[in-house]
Structures are given as structure tokens and as C-alpha cells.
Chain A
């Protein structure tokens, strides 16, 4: 997309994020500006009514309006230097209408009465132009108006109120600890997002929400110049729907893993993690290259989250199943005919996966989605069987349901809302089981921690995942660190090889902060909870190569 700025991360040594680009959604502003309050609800209600009335008078049979102020603060450092601080604000109005059974959408940063009314007219005009070639009229599930309501992410410390200097001090401390402990290079970053969004519709809803998200992360690089080798280790933090309190590093939220590893639940100790990372990156330089073959995999929640995201989250998006993403993200193997049998074994009996937009501290938690539907939790896979999908108001009728699942989201006021993934999480095992005890039962396996390289086909059958840390398991014990590991499998085969899941004491969320979908592409943020899980007999390949 050309209408947005991107910060290219290719030259920044960001390990698994290499080549990624971070979208900046608004204008650059001062830090103080980020703390100025949004327009009050009464004023926004007036603006919303201008849009609703203008669209109705031009012939719209349904209208919703989103008045959004989107704030971002991103900090980038490397070694001893602050590379970039982005403070961005984006403010405007997006109006969506139905005319002749066809959607139309227009957006404007001109929030005057005339500007909003003109924008509503444009949305109606686009709907009318497209209705001429429309063959599938929109069927909207009923949604009773909820009146004037408010929902806020329950944060303890607003990250935007924390002085920039405090954040830089922490990042530079992280960098200095990395260098002290053997890293050749280090980049560290913080991403903060605040969505102040007001939704109104002709159903009679006026919803004011204040949503916060946070993601601290780093990559350390260890270099062996003589051997011409380098290895990286990324942070094992998780992006969260929390305030700056996530960085308190509370001991009570740490989970002791095997081999001295530490996992972080709802509080992250960034300095502790980077010290581990620097030492582990160095250890990777001389780690044994994996012998390709079948292994039992023991997957840490900070790794498994992405596998859940790609192999369960995306294939159960109903818009993909129906073909709306065929030209870009793809379709899905989890077709309606499989679901209708009520007997499609997505996974083994151990596998229970829920969709949830209410779980505290998660990226997907909001009170209402971007078409005014109250949020909830529901089953996607029950005892291994595919039982449901993720749907919006204009899709849910296809499932024979009368109420939307509340899965509609737009990443900005100027983007049209569409079906996006709620939190999709694997429920913990019911029986008491620690990671250490799980490993005791594995004869030939690999324990994998952290998010690495990931790729999956357009119908979500065949995937390949890497990780940050790999440990060989021999006869019930971790023997040593190994490297060059990636596993390949088929989604249904993989989830049916799920043998054991640790109990709730090991449960943590992983998150995807910039999940991309749609044309024009939009980002969204989503969490995936799980406990450490064992999968039997998975195909592992060796990714080591030589060039030149």
C-alpha cells in the first residue's frame, strides 16, 4: 500500500523480523500531543449523527460511523544509540453504508459537519456504483442497539504517560547488558498503541472505547568473524493488551522452565531476558546442527502461539472459508462441508481451542467489535472436532446463527472494517503436568522456545516453523542445545499428533502485533494462549546451507 508510511526493518538486524516493515498509521506529533484528551463523547455523538442522518437522507438502509483517534509511540535503539522515536496520531471518520444491498465505504480527515456529510454522500455514491454489478446482496445479522456505553482496557500505567527518557533508559540498559554478556550487536524496541474509537450505527449504538496495547522486544546478534558466522536470539516477550505495568518484571509472573529457562506470564523482565539471550546467541554459534528426521516436539507457549495462529486461527476465519480472501491470503481447508459433518477431526481429543475477545491482558480484548457487537467467548475446536468459525454480521447467517461473533475490526478510521481473528487459544490440560514431567516421558525429541521463521500454504495445510531456541531431548532429559531446526507438517496431521498438554500453571499468551490481511492490507493484533504441548513424530528438517 502506498498510502501509508512504513519503517523498513531490513537493515536493522531484527532476526525473525528481518525484512518486515512496521506500518505507521498517522501524522508525527509531539509526545505531549499524545496525552491530550480525545473529543468528548457528546461532541462525537453529534458528529456521528451528522453521518447517520446524511447517509440515511441519501438512501442508505444501514450506516455505521467510526470516529477514531489512533495513537502510536514506537522507540528504536541499537547498541548505545537511540535510532528513532515515532509519535504518531491519526484522527478522522470512516463511514460504511448499505445501499441496494451493497456496501460502500468512505473516510475523511475533515471532521467538520460539511466534511462528514460529504464523506457520507461519497460512501453512498460508491455503494450505488457497485450495486450495479453486485450479485450477492448483504444479509446483516440483527444487532440490538446498546445505547451509550463505554469500555476501556483495564491498564494500571498508561504507557503514553511514562516519560520517553524512562523508556530510553530501559532500552539502553537492555542493550548494555546484552553487550556485556557477549552480544556483538543488539537492537531493542518498544511499541505502544492507543485506539480511542467511537462507534455509532443506525441500530442505536453509541460506543466509546479506549484500547491499549504494548510490545517490548529486542534482537541480540552474536558474531564469530573468524568462522564468518552469526546467530540471533529475539526476546521472548509477548505483545499484550496492557499498560506499561507489563514491564514491571514481577517475580510472581515468572515461570521456571527446564534448563534454567524462564517464561513470562503477564509481566516481563526485559533485562533478565536479554542477559539470557546474549549468552544463548553465543551458545548457538557452536551448537550442533540437527540431524533431520522424526522427533517428538515439546513446544513452549511462546513458540506454539504462532503455530496456533497460522494453523487454527487463519483457517477458521469464515471469510477465507467462503473465498473472500482468495486473491490474497487464500482460502481454507476447513471447509463448511467438513464442519457440517460434526465429526471432522481437526486434532486429537486433547485439543480444545476457543475464540475469545474478553480474556484480560490479551490483544484481542475489547468490549464491542468495530460493528457494535458485544464481545464473547466461543468454541472453535471441541475435543478435537471442528465446531465453529469466526464470523461478522454479514456472514454469520451462513452458519445458521442469528447473532454475530463480534469479529469485525479496522486498523484505522480510514480502513474499512472486515473479519479479523479474535484471540484463539488452546485450553490447558486438565491433569496436573509440568514441562519437566512432560520432557521425562520423551525418548527422542526437541524442546522449542520462541518465535522463528514461519510459512504456511494458502489453504493452511502444509507449514514450516522455526524457533529461537532448540534443545535436544534424549531419554527423558535435555541433552544439549542444537541449531538449524525447522519442522514441517500438515495441519490436521499435526494437531492429531497432539499427545499431552501441560496444566494451567504453565499457561501464557503469545501475541501477533502486526498481523496482516486484506487488500488494501490492514494490520491487527491478536493473542494466543496455551500451555507447553507435546506433539509426537513430527518431521524435522535441517536448514543449514553453504553459499559461495
Chain B
């Protein structure tokens, strides 16, 4: 019941809109079924499943808007929700930044739903956990992992005739393997729309190998090093940078994209010319909905091209004020890379550090996008193209803007957290202190 078809969703939305007495009305309808299994110390700790189906109605009078939500779908409940949204709207303060709703839009077809993922059940999850725990037990290692699967749909419609529908599935898996003496730790992560691509066993083997290889780590002096960042390490820094590409903040003078003396750095070359980042909801590796929550189409957008800032995200209000196209923030992004594998990048490195993962990344200075955080679960010293020995974890203080100027080489992009990211080789990456943590 929680996953409605396009026709079922449209029928409910149309019914809601027919009750409207407001100047404008928007309706959102979403449902999902999500399940998870969590384990630690080689045993299952918690596991659960929940379903949800909810309708959200926003009524607008002039520049006043109000939203009400419900999870009952009989006619009386739907009408009551419409009336409630209208009552809330009438009492709401005027929003001077209100922009009228969009009319019908044309959306690109995307496919982010896979039947086999939607069919995951508690037995599948228990088996996935067992496939991860069992090899660890056999090698006297300790597994802690988490698997979560979601099947859901989202539909929007409004009183100007806009309608959009998307159905999607996802599965996310992460695993940390530790040695029995607590001196080694390894990590691996996978996320897909299609569960048939997932192998908890294979991921676990990567984490096991890293755990065993990271025992008895040596301490290196903090300082500037050439690093190879695996995609699981660089993703959060890159995501943070992409989320900071808001035009309004830049125009207001409070962004890394604000210019000295006023103005914004759109069109400026801020990164190495090999840096290219774009988003595309139709990409088959990371398919997304063809529309954003407010009904704007999600299109292929180039954000950084040959190191030049090509586009910023705009709210509809700010775009109207500036007389430009209102480009919504993307749901995931693609960073172009090379063809080399991670192993090739290591082979081509004279001296450097391989980073599996960063942890506890926090903004230090929004002006320069300076972030701090630490390496975790597998950090290794590379010499003459080979991994020489494990090293103790470092704290870093670095900006993704500086990092993408110090680019040495890139490997082939892989999917991580819904984006496609290449392994990155970066020179002069700033490690500021040592950590004893394993």
C-alpha cells in the first residue's frame, strides 16, 4: 500500500486539488518502506522495518502559505486536510519572498526503481549480515556493519496543472572490521539502486584486508603530504563544497564565491583545469528523479568546467530577482576522472599517503571552506609505487578549494553516497596533528 503507482498517486492528488478554495495549492504525496539490520561484535544488535505514506497540502492566499499533513486517505480526511492548510495559510505572516507556483513542466524520464531491491525481506537482510560476519569470525576478526534498504515514491501536483512522479529503490551498506587486539581497522562502503550489484561478502573482504594490513601502524610527523584519497574519503569534502555553491550567499558577500569589493566568482577559474563536475539525473550509475521538490525540472548541469565555476544554485526567488534561470541544487553529482585504477595511482606515486576514509569533518571557516577532520580505518604510507606500511591516523585542516588546485592525478570514478567520484591524488594536503585512534 505504501508504494502507489503513478495513476493511483495522481488520482489522490487530483481529488485533493478539487477541494481547494485557495489562490494556489500544491500537494506532495510520498510513501516508502524501509528496513535495516545492524550488527556489531559479530552478532546482530538491532533490526527493524517501517512503512510510511503521507500527504502534504500547501494552500496559498496572496503571499501567505500554510501546510498540513495527513496519513489517512478517505475523502473526508482529505477535505479536512485541505481546509486545515487553508486555515493555517490565512493566519500565516506574509512572506515577501513568495514566488507563485510553477505551471506544467516537461521532465526527463529517469529510472531509479529496481524490483529486486523492492523485494528485500528480513531473511535477505539476515543472510546479508551473515555473509559479512561469517568470514570475519573465521579469521578471528570483528565485524560491525549496517544495511538499509528503501523503496519509495514521491509525487507532486498543483492547482496550475503541474504533476510529477518518481519511484525509486536504494540499498546502502557499510562495514567496519577490526582486529581482535583492536590495533587494526578497515572500512568499506557500497550504495546502489540495484541490490543485485551489492555483495556484502566482497565489501567485507576489502575491510578485512585493510584491518589486517593496518595493525602496528607507525607514526609520521604531521605536515604537508601527497595523498591518494579514495572516493569514500573525498566525498564529504566535495559534497560540502557543492552545497556551498548557493548564488544568494555569494551575492550577499558571505561565501567562498563572493568577490573582494562585491560581486560573485561565477565564470572564474578557481580550480585546476582538469576539474569537471556536473549533475545528470539520467546517469545510469546514479539515476535520480527528473524533478526537484518544488517541481523544477532536474536537468544536466555543468557546475565546474575545466576548473571554471559555470553554474550556481538559485532559489526561485533569488533567480527572479537576478533575472536568471532558477537552477535547483542537484541530488548527486559526477566528477570526471581518468581511466587509472586506485592500484595504478598508487603505482605512480613516489612518496605519499593512501586515505581510506575521513571522519568527523566540520567546517572551521566558511570564508575559505576550511574543514577539519581525521583519517580513519586504513591509512597507509606509499613509497616507490608500493604500500610500505600502515601509519597512525592524522587530523587534517584543509579546504576542498585548495585541494582541487593541488590536483596531481585522478582515477576512474566510482559510485559513493549517490555520486560518482574518482580517486584523487593531491599534493600538499595539510595534516596538522597525530591521533592515537584506531
**Interface residue ranges, A against B (CB under 8 Å):** 1-3, 8, 10-11, 13, 15-16, 18-19, 27-31, 80-83, 85, 102-109, 122, 125-126, 129-130, 132-136, 168, 184-185, 221, 223, 225-230, 232, 322-328, 330-331, 333, 414, 416, 418, 453-462, 464, 466, 484, 486, 488, 490, 519-520, 539, 541, 543-548
Which residue on B lies nearest to A137, using beta carbons?
A: B43
With the chains together, A3 CA to B56 CA distance in Å? Answer: 15
Contact yes or no, B178 A462, CB < 8 A: no
Contact yes or no, B260 A228, CB < 8 A: yes
Give residues of chain B (376-435) contacting chain A, Cβ–Cβ below 8 Å.
Answer: 376, 393, 395, 397, 399, 401-402, 432-435
Hey, which chain A residues are within 8 Å of B209, CB to CB?
A: none
Hey, which chain B residues are within 8 Å of A230, CB to CB?
A: 253-254, 258, 366-367
With the chains together, A81 CA to B56 CA distance in Å? Answer: 23
With the chains together, A322 CA to B145 CA distance in Å? Answer: 15
The 6 closest A-B pairs by CB, nearest first: A228-B260, A462-B435, A326-B144, A459-B437, A27-B69, A457-B437
**B304 close to A (CB within 8 Å):** no
**Segment of B112-120, B239-247, B277-285 in the binding face:** B239-247
Hey, which chain A residues are within 8 Å of B93, CB to CB?
A: 82, 168
Give residues of chain B (15-48) contacting chain A, Cβ–Cβ below 8 Å.
Answer: 32, 34, 36-38, 40-48
Contact yes or no, B254 A221, CB < 8 A: yes
Contact yes or no, B46 A416, CB < 8 A: yes
Q: A81-B97, A228-B260 are in contact. List 13 more A-B contacts (CB 8 A).
A: A8-B243, A11-B246, A30-B87, A106-B48, A107-B48, A133-B129, A184-B254, A223-B252, A230-B258, A464-B433, A466-B364, A543-B365, A548-B265
Hey, which chain A residues are within 8 Å of B54, CB to CB?
A: 27
Contact yes or no, A2 B32, CB < 8 A: yes
With the chains together, A303 CA to B79 CA distance in Å? Answer: 50
**B5 close to A (CB within 8 Å):** no
With the chains together, A2 CA to B48 CA distance in Å? Answer: 14
With the chains together, A37 CA to B303 CA distance in Å? Answer: 50
**B8 close to A (CB within 8 Å):** no
Hey, which chain A residues are within 8 Å of B254, CB to CB?
A: 13, 184-185, 221, 223, 230
Hey, which chain B residues are within 8 Å of A82, CB to CB?
A: 92-93, 95
Contact yes or no, B32 A464, CB < 8 A: no
Mask of B171-204 contacts with A, CB within 8 angstroms, 1/0: 0001110100010010000000000000000000
With the chains together, A547 CA to B368 CA distance in Å? Answer: 6
Nearest-neighbour CB distance to chain B for A7, whole angstroms, equals 12
Given contacts A228-B253, A461-B436, contact A28 B146 (CB under 8 A): no
Contact yes or no, A545 B246, CB < 8 A: no
Contact yes or no, B369 A490, CB < 8 A: no
Nearest-neighbour CB distance to chain B for A280, whole angstroms, equals 17
With the chains together, A324 CA to B367 CA distance in Å? Answer: 37
Report the number of A-B residue pairs with Cβ-Cβ less than 8 Å.
251
Which residue on A lies nearest to B261, using beta carbons?
A: A226
With the chains together, A510 CA to B219 CA distance in Å? Answer: 36
Nearest-neighbour CB distance to chain B for A309, whole angstroms, equals 13
Considering residues A27, A29, A457, which has the most beta carbons from chain B within 10 angstroms of its beta carbon?
A457
Contact yes or no, A324 B363, CB < 8 A: no
Hey, which chain A residues are within 8 Å of B133, CB to CB?
A: 133
Nearest-neighbour CB distance to chain A for B427, whole angstroms, equals 16
Given contacts A11-B246, A126-B47, A228-B258, contact A488 B432 (CB under 8 A): yes
Which residue on A lies nearest to B56, using beta carbons?
A: A28
Hey, which chain B residues are within 8 Å of A102, CB to CB?
A: 44
Contact yes or no, B48 A126, CB < 8 A: yes
With the chains together, A461 CA to B92 CA distance in Å? Answer: 49
Given contacts A453-B362, A456-B360, A520-B148, contact A547 B369 (CB under 8 A): yes
A-B contact pairs, 25 of them (CB 8 A): A3-B50, A3-B52, A10-B246, A18-B363, A30-B84, A80-B96, A81-B95, A82-B92, A103-B46, A126-B122, A129-B126, A223-B252, A324-B40, A324-B144, A325-B40, A455-B373, A457-B376, A457-B435, A458-B376, A462-B437, A519-B146, A543-B397, A545-B399, A547-B399, A548-B265
